[in-house]
C-alpha cells in the first residue's frame, strides 16, 4: 500500500503541480500576444490544477502514515514541515495573486488597457521557486 501511495504522490506531483507551475508562464506569452481568451482559459486551468494539487499533499500524508516506523516520520519532521509550509505559501500565491492577476489581464486585454503581466511574472516566479524548494526537500530529506 505504501508503494501505491508513493506512486500516486509522485504522479500527481508531476502531472498536476508541474502544469500548475508552468501554465502561468504560458499565460504571460498569451498576454504578450494579446490573446485574452487564452489568458482567461489558462487562469481557469491554473485555478483548477492548484486546487487539485491538494491531492499531492493527501497522498503524501498517506506515504508518511504508511512509512516504516524506523523512519519516525510525522508532520513535525523538519523536511516535511518545511515542505508543507513552502507548498502552502506557493498555493496561496497562485490562488490569491497569480490567478486573479491572470483574470485581470484577460479583462484588460479585452478592454484594451494595461495588463497585469508583472504580477503574473512575479507571483508565478516566486511560487515556482517555492515548489522547486519542496522538490529539493522531498529528495534530499535533510
Q: What digits encode the pLDDT tens for the residues 3-25?
A: 999 999 999 999 999 999 999 99
Interhelix angle 117-140/99-111, rounded to 10 degrees, is 160
* pLDDT score of 120: 96
The residue behind cell 523538519 is: 78
Q: What digits encode the pLDDT tens for the residues 89-115?
A: 999 999 999 999 999 999 999 998 877
Q: Is 70 within 8 Å of 14 (Cβ atoms)?
A: no
Amino acid at each position: 500500500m505504501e508503494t501505491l501511495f508513493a506512486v500516486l504522490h509522485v504522479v500527481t506531483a508531476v502531472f498536476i503541480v508541474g502544469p500548475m507551475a508552468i501554465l502561468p508562464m504560458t499565460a504571460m506569452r498569451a498576454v504578450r500576444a494579446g490573446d485574452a481568451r487564452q489568458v482567461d482559459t489558462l487562469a481557469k486551468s491554473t485555478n483548477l490544477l492548484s486546487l487539485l494539487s491538494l491531492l499531492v499533499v493527501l497522498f503524501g500524508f498517506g506515504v508518511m502514515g504508511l512509512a516504516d516506523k524506523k523512519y519516525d516520520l510525522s508532520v513535525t519532521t523538519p523536511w516535511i514541515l518545511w515542505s508543507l509550509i513552502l507548498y502552502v505559501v506557493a498555493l496561496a500565491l497562485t490562488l490569491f495573486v497569480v490567478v486573479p492577476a491572470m483574470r485581470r489581464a484577460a479583462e484588460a486585454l479585452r478592454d484594451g488597457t494595461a495588463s497585469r503581466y508583472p504580477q503574473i511574472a512575479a507571483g508565478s516566479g516566486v511560487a515556482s521557486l517555492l515548489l522547486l524548494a519542496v522538490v529539493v526537500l522531498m529528495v534530499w530529506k535533510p
